[in-house]
Amino acid sequence: MTRAEPAPSRLSRLGITVSRKVGEAVVRNRVKRWLRESYRQCADKEPEMRDVVVIAKPAAATSTYGAIDAELTRLLRTFKEP
């Protein structure tokens, strides 16, 4: 099996890992949806080529979308700075 080349319009990639320690399937899926949406909004504002891997911790189960969005935005900004 060969790896497909990334589409030219979408150079950034996001990998998300949410283990069972975070919670049941409903909670894990909610955390993944929130992370994807937050990343999508950040990538639209600052389109640059990057691969990002996010490993959700158990505290993400009790977080709000706003908290997850703020944390991911803060982390992505740290990678941007030289």
Mean pLDDT of the chain: 85
Cβ atoms < 10 Å from Cβ of 70: 13
Q: Which residues of 41-69 are buried (b: 16+ CB within 10 A; e: fewer)?
A: ebbeeeeeeeebebebeeebbebeeeebb
Query: Where do the H-state alpha helices sit in the chain?
Result: 25-45, 65-80
**Is pTM, for the whole model, over 0.85?**
no
C-beta of residue 72 within 8 angstroms of C-beta of residue 54: yes
Q: What is the pLDDT of residue 32?
A: 97
pLDDT over threshold 70, residue 12: yes
pLDDT in tens, 16-66: 999 999 999 999 999 999 999 999 988 777 767 778 899 999 999 999 999
For the chain, the straight-line distance linking the first and the last C-alpha, in angstroms and rounded, comes to: 37
Q: What is the pLDDT of residue 63?
A: 95
* In the chain, where the domains are located: 18-74
- As a whole number of angstroms, the distance between CA 81 and CA 16 comes to 23
